[in-house]
Amino acid sequence: MSAKAKSYDNAMTREELCRLAIQGLSKSYAPYSGYYVSAALEDSEGNITTGCNIENASYTPTVCAERTAFFSAVAHRKGDTLPHFVRMAVVGGNHGEVTGAFPPCGVCRQVMSEFCDDSFEILVVQSVEPLTYDTFTLPALLPLRFGPSHLSKKGQ
């Protein structure tokens, strides 16, 4: 068994990842919409990176929780190799009260397409108590996606 495989044996369960995302709702900075969103991203080494939505008074610089998590994970990766991301839990609600699904927006799905393969799972939390969530693959949420492979042949 490789070290990589061993560490992944210690991976969180899907429920634990959802619970981490739920805990992160309190970090949201959403003074304008009041909608708190949180995401927890897991890579194949068992590393977890959380993210929250961060709004801005001029609106357009606002960033979603999912992108905050991805950009943080990429910025803080060890070495030059990108992590292999395996799944992300996403949760949201008005002032942190979860009353239904907050699926990733189209821009976040495109960011997932940049860093994830077809096996990547998105866990969309529906309720906290009891914990319920739906699991989607990236191809289900972004069919016919545009990704790095479309540009990698250029210049070769």
Calpha distance 121→136 (Å, rounded): 6
The reply to whether 66 belongs to the active site is yes
Q: Is 68 left (phi over 0), alpha (psi -120 to 50) or beta?
A: alpha
How many residues bind Zn ion (CB under 5 A)? The answer is 3
Which residue from 108, 122, 125, 138 is in contact with Zn ion, where contact means CB under 5 A? Answer: 108
Catalytic residue among 15, 42, 55, 66: 66
Neighbouring CB atoms inside 10 A of 101's CB total 16
The nearest distance, CB 152 to Zn ion, in angstroms, is 25
3-state secondary structure of 45: coil
Among 105, 114, 134, 135, binds Zn ion (CB under 5 A): 105
For 85, phi and psi rounded to 5 degrees?
Answer: -80, 135
- In angstroms, what is the minimal distance from the CB of 30 to Zn ion? 13
Site for Zn ion contains 41 (CB under 5 A):
no
Q: Interface with Zn ion by CB under 5 A: which residues?
A: 64, 105, 108
